[in-house]
Amino acid sequence: MTTGIFKRTALVAALATTGVVAQADTLPFSFYALLDAGVVSTKISGGTAGAGNTTEVRSSPIDPSFWGIVAEKKVDDLIGGIQMESTINTTNYSGTDTGNHNALADRQANVYVKSDSLGKLEMGRITDPVFDALLTIDPTSSGFGNTLSPWFQVVGHSSDTGAIKYSSPVIGGFSAKVSYVAASASPTIGGNNSTYGTGVRAALNYNYGDFNLVGAYESNNAASTFSTVTIGQNQNSVDLLGANYKVGAVTLKAIYLVNKDNAQQYSGTTINTTDYGSMKTTGFGGSYDFSEKLQLTGGYYQSKDGGSAKTNGTNVSAFDAYLTYEFIKDLKVYGQVANVQDNGTAASGAFAFSSNYGTFAGSNNGFTTTGAITAGQSAKVLSVGLHYGFF
């Protein structure tokens, strides 16, 4: 039985299709789901804006909630199928999250063909190969205070629409994923990542027993002409390096993420993302399995601007830890604590300390934008919740 962080990572990435598809002999399709809901208390302190306490019943404090279906047909070694996956937002409000979670198959909607010897080819709305890789090496991969926060803040997506992706078989311990994303036909000014044009992603994984080494690269071009960025010019790129290693009940993880971003200007207004220049995030931690049912996960992170002559000054440290207990098969209760401290300068702007579906806690320089802290502020988060995975 798969236990610990590896099982959880597979759920988050919606990659645990082997166990799901095992139902295909008796059902016309296979169904899977993950639901996570909890009570979250957040205290924002310091600085000049957004201080105070917020208590919420929150969707997905640790993992995103979703449901999906997979249907397949097999001829000899060749399998063809479809996958559709939709977000479940249990509290029906978004906080900092700008995704359209009322749409069917907002996470995945693709057709694919695969075989053990040739790998897998997908087309449609697919998961980002670099984000897939990030989930395997991020020490906590939860909703607060980790590498996912700067990822969503700068890159702003975990799946791609209008894309083609190839996943190779494992050869000599190596496996790879590459994808190409077509330009948006009707980019919307100010959308979360709707202004991205063409993009490429590549991730390489090396496995040797209980050791995994991951390297990945992503690049996105602009889809529209702005005063500082033209069509086809690089808008954002990501470099990722990390590893995980399992020793008995302990799983160790380390990650290094570099976000390089060019802010867009339209009629004198900054659009889409803040220009961080080159924000570098390091993280280390992992998990300890007290038993198959009880697990402790934790990690420490540091995000700093690369020091380019742009909007530098970002300097954020974060700690995140949670304890999970599976008291009924696949149903867990958890307690989580996270602390995010912004030691940046005033020029660094707001830093989003939440991923998944956001939070109403905090504000952005006195405005109503939530889930962010500014220079001199800290966010302390406590959450207790229930987590159920049906796979």
* pLDDT tens sequence across 198-219: 889 999 999 999 999 999 999 8
pLDDT at res. 363? 59
The pLDDT value recorded for residue 97 is 45
Confirm if 65 and 87 have CB atoms less than 8 A apart.
Answer: yes
Tokens of 347: 């020029």
Structure confidence at residue 263 (pLDDT): 56
User: Which pLDDT score, from 0 to 100, does residue 192 have?
Assistant: 42
pLDDT score at 292: 95
User: What does the alpha-carbon distance between residue 171 and residue 117 come to, in Å, rounded to a whole number?
Assistant: 10
| pLDDT range class, residue 150, cuts 50, 70, 90 | confident
Does residue 235 register a pLDDT over 80? Answer: no
> Which contiguous run of DSSP H or E holds residue 149?
helix 148-154
pLDDT at 274 over 90: no
Q: What is the pLDDT of residues 98-119, one digit of tens each?
A: 444 556 888 999 999 999 999 9
Q: What is the mean pLDDT of residues 298-313?
A: 74
Higher pLDDT, 248 or 353: 248
Q: How far apart are CA 96 and CA 128, in angstroms?
A: 21
Q: Is the pLDDT of residue 189 over 60?
A: no
SS3 at position 115: strand
**Over 90: is that where the pLDDT of 265 sits?**
no
- Quick check: 182 pLDDT over 90? no
Q: What angle do CA 136, 139, 143 make, to 5 degrees?
A: 95
Q: Are 243 and 155 in contact (CB under 8 A)?
A: no
User: Could you tell me the CA-to-CA distances from 5 to 208, 255, 349 in Å, in that order?
Assistant: 18, 15, 33
b/e sequence 129-142, b meaning 16+ C-beta within 10 Å: bbbbbbbbbbbbbb
* Of residues 315, 307, 314, the one with CA closest to residue 348: 314
- DSSP, collapsed to helix, strand or coil, labels residue 142 as coil
Instruction: Give the global pTM.
Output: 0.83
- pLDDT tens for each residue of 26-65: 457 899 999 999 999 999 988 766 678 889 999 999 999 9
At residue 305, the 3 state secondary structure works out as strand
Rounded mean pLDDT of the chain?
80
pLDDT value of position 301: 96
Cβ neighbours of residue 259 closer than 8 Å, sequence gap 6 or more: 150, 151, 154, 155, 236, 237, 238, 276, 278, 279, 280, 281
Residues in the chain: 391
Question: Cβ distance 21 to 70 under 8 Å?
Answer: yes
- Output the pLDDT for position 160: 87
CA distances from 320 to 147, 183, 297, 339, 357 (A): 11, 36, 8, 7, 17
**Predicted local confidence at residue 43, as pLDDT:** 92
Kindly state the tokens that stand for 1.
């039985």
pLDDT interval class at 11 (50, 70, 90) = very low
Q: Of all residues in the chain, what percent carry a pLDDT higher than 90?
A: 49
Q: What was the pLDDT predicted at 334?
A: 98
pLDDT recorded at residue 185: 45
Confidence of residue 10 (pLDDT cuts 50, 70, 90): very low
**Euclidean distance between CA atoms 338 and 381, whole angstroms:** 5
307 has a pLDDT exceeding 80: no
Residue 127's pLDDT is 93
pLDDT higher than 90, residue 260: no
Residue 194 falls in which region: left (phi positive, over 0), alpha (psi -120 to 50) or beta: alpha
